[in-house]
Structure 1
């Protein structure tokens, strides 16, 4: 898109408010910044359609037969650029409409659906990766969050990849105030995020660690994990400053996922001065692996990573997080857009 010239930007996403996840957080911040810069941005999400619950994940709603209504919405908005953020019913419907009418579009790869589907159904990952390649093949640019993810996707046959990193709200997430975690022996090891099988939270909760384990968030696996690990402290979802204080009050943030494409929670923890412990996989490798000074620890032995993270300096963690800008994220998103009508 033309720098400095306001544009009409359409984003179609199966992940949108009131859902709470990294995709929604990223898109909502980017949309706000684009609007502040003068662009007219329309987001079409499941909230504007009849929906059905995602099997096994009732809090996530999927648009039901959206194509006809979606076409009317796109034509009424008259976008200069179209971005399809997800590969759900809305994403597929938007893709089909764009191909039918000759509208150019970009896409982004936020979620490793092949891993998630395999974890729940045991459907071979290769089948899902083939479907993902088919979905993104017509895209003018496929936005990916990290270099390691881009390398993996290139090896899997994806083309037209474009780098699109992330940011962190440095005013919201900060080293003070710190939640005291009263009654919990120190050190406090914290996980925050969606509580679902693909997040591999059991790998964290099963560790033999000193101090306490705390879990912030909600999701379909919460009841089962809470029953299996009664010694862990489950808070549910936290808002209105309590989440930021929980990050800051922990001694280490544990990120056990092996399937995330980035992990915004990593930056939120670091901005709060809390070092990160994780496996050396996409996301952690790209966020904390390149840090010039230790801001956590990565290891295939997650217990070793947890204990090693305790040695990181909190001020260094905050200083490193300050390098990640939402303004740069929004600017890069806009740079990758392509005119819908050539």
Structure 2
């Protein structure tokens, strides 16, 4: 799109408010900044259709037979550019409409659905990756969050890949939000032996949280978040502290109050929680996989530890400089993320 000239930008996403996840957080930040910059931005999500809960994830809604309603909404908005953020029912319907009309559009790759589907149903990954390649093949540009993810997708046969990194709210997530004397934040880890190793995020099988809870570590383990696996994990690992979902300053206080943030996932495409922890001054322990190797490894100072032995990573992260964690997080900007997103858009009509 032309820099400095306001445009009508349409984003179609199967992940949207009131859902709480990395895709929604990214899109809401980008949409708000684009609107502040003068663009008119419309987001079409499942909340505007008859919808049903995704099996296994009651908080994720899927639009039912969205084609007719979607066409009406798009025609009412008359977009200059179209971005399709997800590969769900709305994404496929928007893709079909754009192809039928000869409109150009961009897409983004947020979630390794083939890995998630395989973990739950054992459907062969090769089948799902073929579907994903078909979805994105018609896109003028496929936005990916990290260099390592782009390299993997290129090997899998994806084309037209372009970088689109992420940011963090350094005002919301800050070392000053740590609980303690003279603060307004309740300590979610009060009474726990130190050090406290924290996981925060969706509590689901694909997040590999059991790999963290099984570790023999000093101090205590804590899990912040909700999801379909919480009850099973709480029954199996009762010594960990489970806080459930935390909002507003309570989540920020949890990040800042932990000694190490543990990211056990092997399937995330980025992991915004990595930046949120670092912005809070908390070092990260993770496997050396996409996301952590793009956020932690390039840091000029020690802000965490990556190892195929997650216990070694956890203990190594204790040695990181918390001030260095904050400095590294400050190099990731939502403003730059929004600007890059806009730069990748292409006019829908020739």
- The TM tier, using the shorter chain, reads over 0.9
Q: Give the C-alpha shift of residue 176 in structure 1.
A: 1.3
Unmatched tracts of structure 1, length 5 or more: none
Q: 2:284 aligns with which of 252, 273, 276?
A: 276
Q: What corresponds to 1:34 in structure 2?
A: 34
Q: Distance in 1 between matches of 2:295 and 2:171?
A: 20
Deviations 1:315-341 (A, max 9, x none): 000001000000000000000000000
Unmatched tracts of structure 2, length 5 or more: 180-186
Q: Does 1:25 align with 2:25?
A: yes
Q: What corresponds to 1:297 in structure 2?
A: 305
Q: Distance in 1 between matches of 2:255 and 2:52?
A: 34
Q: Distance in 2 between matches of 1:7 and 1:156?
A: 34
SS in 2 for 1:241: helix
Q: What corresponds to 1:311 in structure 2?
A: 319
Does the CA-based 8 Å contact 2:177-2:249 persist in structure 1? no
Q: Distance in 1 between matches of 2:108 and 2:201?
A: 21
Q: Does 1:62 align with 2:70?
A: no
Q: Distance in 2 between matches of 1:136 and 1:116?
A: 18
Q: Distance in 1 between matches of 2:65 and 2:103?
A: 21
Q: Give the C-alpha shift of residue 55 in structure 1.
A: 1.0
SS in 1 for 2:278: helix
Q: Give the C-alpha shift of residue 281 in structure 1.
A: 0.1
Q: What corresponds to 1:89 in structure 2?
A: 89
Q: 2:253 aligns with which of 245, 263, 280?
A: 245
CA RMSD of aligned residues (A): 0.5
Q: Distance in 1 between matches of 2:306 and 2:258?
A: 18
Q: Distance in 2 between matches of 1:118 and 1:234?
A: 27
Q: What are the within-5 Å matches in structure 2 for residues 136-155 of structure 1?
A: 136-155=136-155
Q: Give the C-alpha shift of residue 214 in structure 1.
A: 0.5
Q: What corresponds to 1:123 in structure 2?
A: 123
Q: What are the within-5 Å matches in structure 2 for residues 205-220 of structure 1?
A: 205-220=213-228
Structure 1 residue ranges, 4+ long, deviating more than 6 angstroms after superposition: none
Q: Distance in 2 between matches of 1:129 and 1:157?
A: 9
Deviations 1:179-237 (A, max 9, x none): 34211000000000000000000000011100000000000101110111100000001
SS in 1 for 2:82: strand
Deviations 1:245-301 (A, max 9, x none): 100000000000000000000000000000000000000000011111110000000
Q: Give the C-alpha shift of residue 61 in structure 1.
A: 0.8
Q: Distance in 2 between matches of 1:340 and 1:304?
A: 50
Q: What corresponds to 1:101 in structure 2?
A: 101
Q: Distance in 1 between matches of 2:226 and 2:289?
A: 24
SS in 2 for 1:43: strand
SS in 2 for 1:338: coil
Q: Distance in 2 between matches of 1:115 and 1:290?
A: 26
Q: Distance in 1 between matches of 2:19 and 2:53?
A: 12
Q: What corresponds to 2:132 in structure 1?
A: 132
SS in 2 for 1:58: strand
Q: Distance in 1 between matches of 2:249 and 2:117?
A: 34
Q: Distance in 1 between matches of 2:150 and 2:2?
A: 26
Q: Distance in 1 between matches of 2:59 and 2:155?
A: 34
